[in-house]
Amino acid sequence: MSLSGVIAQALEIAVALALAPLLTGWVNQWRARLQNKSPPGLLQPYRLLHKLFHKDSVVAEHASPLFRGVPYVVFGCMALASSIVPTLSTDLPLAPAADAIALVGLFALARVFISLAAMDVGTAFGSLGARREMLIGFLAEPALLMVLFSASLISRSTSLTTVVETLAHRELAIYPALAFALVAFIMVALAENARVPVDNPATHLELTMIHEALILEYSGRHLALIEWAASLKLFAYSCIGIALFMPWGIAEAQAPVALLLALPVLVFKLAAGGIGLALLETLAAKMRIFRVPEFLASAFLLAVIGILVHLLLAVNPA
C-alpha cells in the first residue's frame, strides 16, 4: 500500500462527502433556471443538513432498533460506493473491492434496509414506498449490471480500476456497445436517483412519490443522514458514468502528480453532468408508475444489445 494510494483514497472519500450535497444543489439550481423559476441557493443542501443535524430525532413509539440503525447503514453503503469508484486515481487501497458486482450489491443492500425501515413502523405510506422501491430495484439492478458488463467486456475485467485504465488508454473512437450502454445507464440513473420521469424529488403526492414515501417517518439527524446518502448516491452514479464513459483525466498509479489535475477535471465533469441531468428532467414528463417497468425493461434491453453488438464486432471486426 503506497503513500500516494492512501492519500488518493482519503482525498476521494473527502471529495465525495463534501461535493455530494453541492452536486445536488447544482442540479436543483439549474433545474429551476430551466423552468424559469427563482433558483435556490447553491449551498442550500448544506444549510438543510446543518439544520437537521441540530434537531432532535422523533421516533415512533413502536419503532424497532432497525429503524434507528438504517440511516447509518444506508449512509455507510453510499459513502463506500462513492469511495470505491475511481474518480481521482486508480491507485486506491480499496481498488480490490471496486468490482462491478460488489458495487451493485452495495446499492441493493442500502435499498433492502431502507425498505425494511419504511415498513417497520407500519404506516401505509412506508409500505407503499417500500413496494415501489423494491419494484424499481428489481428492474434497475439487472440493467445496471448489463451496463457494467458491457464495459467489462472491453477491458476483460469487472474491476472498475481496470476498466478505467483500459478505456483511458484506448484511442478515441466510437464504440457502438458503449453508446447503447450509455443510454441504458442514463435511464437507470434517473430511476435509481428518484428523478423525473420515474419520480419527482420535489413532490409529496401520494400517487407519485417513491423515495419520499420511504423517509416520511424520519427526522433530525436520521433524516440528515438519509438526505446526505441520497446526495452521495447521485454522486456515485455520476462518478460511475464518468469512469465508464469519460475516464480521461483520472490519475494512475504511476502518476501521483496527476492528482492535482484530476480534481478540477472531476469538478468540471460533474458540473456538465449536473446541467445535463437538469435539462433531461426539464424536457421529460413524469410517467405513471405502471409505465416504469417498461422504461427499465427498455434500459435492460439496450444494455443487452450493447453486449451483443460488442460480441458481434469482436467476432467480425471487419
pLDDT attached to residue 276: 95
CA-wise closest residue to 71 among 23, 28, 116:
116
Sign of torsion over alpha carbons 45, 49, 55, 61: positive
Where along the chain do its domains lie? 3-315
DSSP state, 217? T
pLDDT attached to residue 129: 87
pLDDT attached to residue 289: 85
pLDDT attached to residue 7: 84
Assess contact for 75 and 236: CB atoms under 8 A.
no
CA-wise closest residue to 274 among 242, 311, 314, 310:
242
pLDDT attached to residue 204: 66
- Residue 213 to residue 129: CA distance in whole angstroms: 5
Who's near 311: CB < 8 A, 6+ residues apart? 153
Cell (9 digits) for 140: 434497475
Assess contact for 177 and 309: CB atoms under 8 A.
yes
pLDDT attached to residue 249: 83
pLDDT attached to residue 210: 82
Distance between terminal CA atoms of the chain?
43
CA-wise closest residue to 22 among 247, 194, 267, 258:
267
- Return averaged pLDDT per consecutive 10 residues of the chain, 318 residues in all: 80 94 96 92 95 92 92 96 89 81 94 94 86 92 94 88 83 79 95 90 71 88 96 96 89 70 92 95 88 94 94 72
